[in-house]
Amino acid sequence: MKPSSLSFLCCRSPYEESNVVILGCPLDLTASFRPGYRFAPNAIREASWNLESYSPLWERDLEEEKICDLGDLELAGTVREALGQIEEAVRELIGDGKRPLLLGGEHLITLGAVKALKGRYVDLVVLQVDAHGDLREEYLGAELSHATVMRRVWEEVGADSLLQVGVRSWDRTEAQWAREAGTFLGEGPEVTLPAELKERPLYLTLDLDVLDPGICPGVGSPEPGGWNFKELMAFLSRLPADRLVGADVVELSPPFDPMGGSAMVAAKVARELLLQLCKKFDI
């Protein structure tokens, strides 16, 4: 595998030497409101070149880390085929000892990643940071959708291994299911994280619509009343980075923010997650 010609900032280490790998997953097949997710991975990369490689939050620099950007997957035309490609790619990465950061793409890409990781880490915990529950059994007649993805993830990992934070928009049946299953921790960034996160492999899926539309308007399903950027960073700083086996950043839709501010937000989030993934691994 070779680094992409358009890389995220300075992330151009040889694949063989890298610890963390960036992979674009431009899936854009089930959008129900504002499509454009297929443009997101490269919009994030382009925006990253206006960031510093140094993070004041972690006091660390991407230039000092071994990170490879593999570019984007060329996804097949059907949802199931595309998810199969994502699953296969992530399985190969973790088989090579890499920790993946996936750049979406719609939220459904998480399912492919979780399937691959669950095969490696049987006690995997999935932490969803999102404005929406995404727990519907089906949506618009489809079982595979951005609105059903966490229900499908739950079927892979079980209710005791799915945690949801930030959700402020539910279908009635979703809300009831989440209460009964105990997956929802709370809407605000100050929620108490269970102690088990320090003991089990953790996958983080971060839907950018958890942020308020005033901060990140270029998303597929904006939802008023969201977090601000500093709140998100404070939340991320409380995660046990040494248990993080992978992450994704999803649901950026660049056409709906032509000024590019949302892509900058996504790029900065990605920078911080990359540095978290580069922390000493304890699994």
Query: For residue 224, which amino acid is it?
Result: P
| Percent of the chain residues topping a pLDDT of 70 | 96
pLDDT tens for residues 214-228? 999 999 999 999 999
For residue 33, the model assigns a pLDDT of 66
Predicted confidence band of residue 139 (pLDDT cuts 50, 70, 90)? confident
Residue 104, C-beta contacts closer than 8 angstroms, at least 6 positions apart: 25, 26, 27, 37, 40, 41, 248, 249, 250, 251, 252
Predicted confidence band of residue 5 (pLDDT cuts 50, 70, 90)? low
Query: What domains can you pick out in the chain, each with its CATH number?
Result: 15-277 (3.40.800.10)
| Percent of the chain residues topping a pLDDT of 90 | 89
Region 208-215: what's the mean pLDDT?
98
For residue 76, the model assigns a pLDDT of 83
**pLDDT over threshold 90, residue 173:** yes
Q: Which of 29-33, 142-146, 159-163, 208-212 has the highest mean pLDDT?
A: 208-212
Joined tokens for residue 96: 């090579």
**pLDDT over threshold 90, residue 159:** no
**pLDDT over threshold 70, residue 67:** yes
